[in-house]
Chains A and B, each alone.
Chain A
Amino acid sequence: MTTIDRPIVANVESATFADSKLGKAAIEGLKFAALMFCLSIPILLLRIESDIDHKPYLFTRWSWPLWAALVGFVVRFVALAASGEAHKVKAPAWVMPESVARYLPIAGLIFLLLYPMIALALVGKAGSIKWIDNFGIQVLIYIMLGWGLNIVVGLAGLLDLGYVAFYAVGAYSYALLATVVIPNYAPWLTPWAFWVCLPLAGLLAALWGIILGLPVLRLRGDYLAIVTLAFGEIIRLVLINWTDVTKGYAGISGIPRPSFFGLPFNASDKGFAATFGLEFTPLHRTIFLFYVILALALLTNWVSMRLRRLPVGRAWEALREDEIACRSLGINTTNTKLTAFAIGASFAGMAGSFFAARQNFISPESFTFNESAVILAAVVLGGMGSQLGVAIAAFAMVGGTEILRELDWLKAIFGNTFDPTQYRMLIFGFSMVALMIWKPRGLIATREPSLFLKTRKSISGSFVKEGHG
């Protein structure tokens, strides 16, 4: 009898240990830690360095794989111990409360309108240029690009990996028009160069959107993505190699800055400051640029919100949900896709010409695939189709990068060679994967219906199947 009893007792004991939540989590955590350790052995343990004679040698650091294993264990353990069940049914995505959804955009808008004043009041004249220019304007450019791409990806459901091409078209159109065409053929237009070229750049980008879109738009989702990626790269390579026009890697410099509707921002008698009887400071231009890009971003938002309510916008969303059903209802899918592509491209073109005017210098380096990926990440992470989500994601990502530059105190912890900005794209990539797994519908997975019976009611994004086409 005892011989039978013993294994049963042992079984119960081991069952209580292994089946307890913490025990399970610990075992899974150890497994994951072992995996992380194995994965990190070659690439983290050994680093290829060059000595003074450029002879490569291997530099060993045992602590890195151990840290990787530890982090792996902690992440897995906490995730399992906190959730309890490893595999549970996914709850529908969180829907934002109506009150927050209503007041957050207004609060954000008021904050943006007052932002230059707040920056001035908090850090003074010298410090605020950095905060308005590097932080405010930079974030707004990406918000505008995010909203522009949102028309293509979020509303029409076409995954565009080459969006930065249209941004480049806009930037180079403005740069070439303002440095070559206008001074030679229409010098009287010089003070108004930016304001004339802005719509032109938008039109040119839209034209390129149509040229590139026409042949590829009958392709399926992921094929379309790859072809747009190829087109983006082709445009960048042409910009690099067509040195007669674009000056290649050297880029175009001396691009005229925007004027205050004809009044230049300089210290001359006819400048902005003298006309309004103010003391000249470069801050005027920075603040003006801030409001210009804010207006452009809001224009993008307004146009796309209005378009959603028009028949073409309804057709976009219908197309996103089911292309075959659309076609059988008599919607011309090619034209519908093409309008989304062209309108999205035109906003990228305008953002590009603003970028060129603000930077004063452009080169192909600014239009790599990474930029497309950042814009796409803003749209995807924000929740495709949600204007507020895209804005929040763009703010978090681009603003987060700028804040990374400020984190000098981290050097005190990780040593002087630690550069937080090099982790920027690493964090982007990681958060794209993590968010796809955690919330495939993005941060704000709420749908604002464009048609409703009696009351407007947001629904969870889980009920729509975007990106199917």
Chain B
Amino acid sequence: MEYFVQQLINGLTLGSIYGLIAIGYTMVFGIIGMVNFAHGDVFMLSTFFALIVLMILLPIIGTSVAAIIFALIVVMAIGMVLTGLWNWAIERIAYRPLRGSFRLAPLISAIGMSIFLSNFVQVVQGPTNKSIVSLIDGGFCLSGTTTTAKYCLFPTKAGFGVTLAYKQVVIMTITALLLAGFWYLVQKTPLGRAQRACEQDSKMARLLGIDVDRTISVTFVMGAALAAVAGVMYLVQYGIIGFSDGFVPGVKAFTAAVLGGIGSLPGAVLGGLIIGLVESLWSAYFSIDYKDVAAFSILAVTLIFLPSGIMGRPEVEKV
């Protein structure tokens, strides 16, 4: 039981990260019907931004609790701006000229962009993995013997303990706050209204005076900003990043977006949480070697049997 609860906590943490990346996929797909293959690599790029900014900040402000909270906020803000700028430029250079070209052209361009980004980072930052000392240590002891924490919610004499690490709390809290803010942005502001209009019918939206190109740009920037937050969390959680670390989280986040129903924002988050849970439970109870196989299989099975996902609208093909 304790083991299961622990894996549940780990899975939800992982799922928050996947969910944030998945929103970027689902928004772009919803608005221009394109699989943004490079999104995973944009996420990877953001982890590098986060690490570089952290390495500048930490020696200046020290490692007290307040300093780390301040550093995380600054890193997230700078990361969101930089990653957003990158994704904006990528959209302008690699995708916008292909709008109206044949259907697979943007996808192929995105695959090229994905290869370019990961190899670009490899060339300019070197092929070795980069690591950072653990920023947030310790956690709440939910159950178990009081070895790591002083107080336990449900103290037991022996057995497997359940710990909710502080960094997991931070990750889940930030995800929840961000999603609330994001939901407000999409549902209640003119910008979000324009976005939803473009998603439903971009031609009609253009006729009604919405600048569709600008809305698409904003969508890319927003997706990248959420990926940047996910990048900071990934760095906090794992502490080690490399140039090729965008591919697998990218495919998993895409799986999450498809599972939740592509085009649906709550679906993307739900899908992310499911994928995170499946991955951590699979590694715990079956085989850690095959955890990626599990995620990829979910993708295949979902697309075959439930192509519109859990919360997506079924696609109607018109001639």
Contacts and interface: CB of A to CB of B under 8 A. Distances in A.
B254 A226 contact: yes
Interface stretch (B104-112, B152-160, B266-274, B276-284): B104-112
Given A227-B303, A233-B251, A440-B105, A56 B114 contact: no
B194 to A, nearest CB: 24
Contacts of A324: 317, 319
Contacts of A111: none
A466 interface: yes
Contact of B289 (A56, A58, A241): A241
B165 interface: no
A48 B109 contact: no
A400 interface: no
B110 to A, nearest CB: 9
Given A43-B52, A221-B103, A369-B247, A429 B98 contact: no
Given A234-B293, A437-B94, A42 B82 contact: yes
A58 B97 CA distance: 37
Contact of A237 (B114, B120, B254, B292): B292
Most chain A CB within 10 A, of B49, B109, B317, is at B109
A241 B114 contact: no
A302 interface: no
A237 B307 contact: no
A227 B300 contact: yes
A338 interface: no
B107 A423 contact: no
B103 A234 contact: no
B51 A48 contact: yes
B5 interface: no
Contacts of A46: 52, 56
A433 interface: yes
Interface string A35-48: 10011001110111
Given A216-B300, A370-B115, A56 B130 contact: yes
A39 B85 contact: yes
Interface string B105-130: 10111011111111111111111101
Contacts of A216: 300, 303-304
Contacts of B86: 39
Most chain B CB within 10 A, of A215, A226, A422, is at A226
Contacts of A437: 93-94, 97-98, 109
A151 interface: no
B216 interface: no
A226 to B, nearest CB: 6
What is the predominant secondary structure among interface residues of chain B facing chain A? helix
A42 B46 CA distance: 11
B94 A237 contact: no
Interface residues of B, number: 66
A427 B105 CA distance: 18
Contacts of A467: 102-105
Interface in A449-469: 465-468
B34 interface: yes
Nearest to A372: B111
B101 interface: yes
B132 interface: yes
Contact of A225 (B107, B119, B131, B287): B107
Contact of B293 (A219, A222, A238, A426): A238
Interface string A195-232: 00000000000000000000110010111011101110
Contact of A50 (B48, B116, B128, B299): B128
B250 to A, nearest CB: 11
A49 interface: yes
Contacts, number: 177
A35 B89 CA distance: 8
A159 interface: yes
A436 interface: yes
A273 interface: no
B307 to A, nearest CB: 7
Contacts of A177: none
A181 B35 CA distance: 43
B113 to A, nearest CB: 6
Nearest to A424: B119
A56 B55 contact: yes
Contact of B52 (A39, A48, A466): A48
B45 interface: yes
Interface in A19-66: 35, 38-39, 42-44, 46-50, 56-58, 64
B316 to A, nearest CB: 12
Contact of B116 (A219, A430, A440): A430
B166 interface: no
B170 interface: no
B103 A433 contact: no
B98 A436 contact: yes
A219 B82 CA distance: 36
A431 interface: yes
A140 interface: no
A215 B307 CA distance: 12
A230 B300 contact: yes
B299 A226 contact: yes
A288 interface: no
Given A39-B85, A58-B52, A241-B290, A433 B112 contact: yes
B184 to A, nearest CB: 29
A465 B105 CA distance: 11
Contact of A433 (B35, B94, B299, B300): B94
A468 B102 contact: yes
B187 interface: no
B103 A230 contact: no
A69 interface: no
A190 B307 CA distance: 48
A432 interface: yes
A465 B122 CA distance: 36
A42 B52 contact: yes
B292 A233 contact: yes
Contacts of A428: 112, 115
Contacts of B127: 422
B297 interface: yes
B101 to A, nearest CB: 5
B112 A377 contact: yes
23 contacts: A43-B49, A43-B121, A48-B52, A48-B130, A216-B300, A216-B303, A219-B304, A222-B107, A225-B35, A226-B254, A234-B300, A324-B317, A370-B115, A377-B112, A422-B123, A426-B122, A429-B114, A432-B112, A436-B94, A436-B101, A436-B112, A465-B102, A467-B102
Given A39-B85, A50-B128, A437-B97, 10 more contacts: A47-B125, A48-B125, A159-B104, A215-B304, A229-B251, A234-B296, A238-B293, A432-B108, A437-B93, A437-B94
